[in-house]
Structure 1
Amino acid sequence: MIAEFEEYLGKIEDEAHQERVRTVLNWVQETFPQLEQRYAWNQPMFTDHGTFIIGFSVAKPHMAFAPEGPVMEEFADQIAAAHYNPGKKFGRIKWTQDVDYDLLKQIIAFNIADKTDCTTFWRK
């Protein structure tokens, strides 16, 4: 884990929440070892060939995953089925909910494939 991720994690006051985010970040890196870690906009994120794939953040009631708006639309039914609270560009996983790693894997794999030829950080 890069030092900036550890610094970010250290700011999460609840130890259980801190450990959960660490587990998810490590899972992403182990599952998609080709992704690069980046810390920007005050959140840990993962990129592929310089393009954004997914970012994570925390708030008092939840952990959020942000794969960009088009991906949220693509997976709207699955996100709803997981009972996650969707936003336009991110989803919220309550601390009391399980992390659906299969869904995260599908979202990340979709973004990697969809942005194979993307030459910008964000979708245009």
Structure 2
Amino acid sequence: MDVFEDFLTNIEDESHRARMIEIIDWVQQTFPELQKRFAWKQPMFTDHGTFIIGFSVATKHISVAPEGKSMDLFVTKIEKADYTHGTKMFRIKFDQDINYDLLREIIEFNIEDKKDCETFWRK
């Protein structure tokens, strides 16, 4: 059984489920070295035991959580993509395009920045 299967089957809206599957599949295909983990009620991807990126579903959007440091560095690009954000996450509305170039850049940054990290979260 896939680590994310229960999470995905419990997304009631089929179009929202399909959108989440699309993003998760893209991450898996683009970064096959990352490990899947389900924690804090959300699918996430890790590298050598450290958090890289996580996702969650809300009524009107998918939340993307790359950690605060990444948010600080990419906030201008996140805003330019027309995504709303908090301090440690940004939101992709279900009617918005997914900016995969931005996601790739954030994930690549986290992998490189955390290559020597020995904890799950940055300290």
Normalised TM-score (structure 1): 0.97
Runs of 4 or more consecutive aligned structure 1 residues displaced over 6 Å after TM superposition: none
Aligned to 1:77: 76
Structure 1 spans left out of the alignment, 5+ residues: none
Counterpart amino acid of residue 25 in structure 2: N
Structure 2 spans left out of the alignment, 5+ residues: none
Aligned to 1:49: 48
Aligned to 1:4: 3
Are 1:68 and 2:67 an aligned pair? yes
Residues 39-90 of structure 1 show CA distances to partners (whole Å, capped at 9, x for unaligned) of: 0000000000000000000100100110000100100110000000111100
Aligned to 2:16: 17
Aligned to 2:117: 118
Cα pair 2:3 2:36 within 8 Å, conserved: no
Aligned to 2:106: 107
Structure 2 counterpart SS, 1:37: strand
Normalised TM-score (structure 2): 0.98
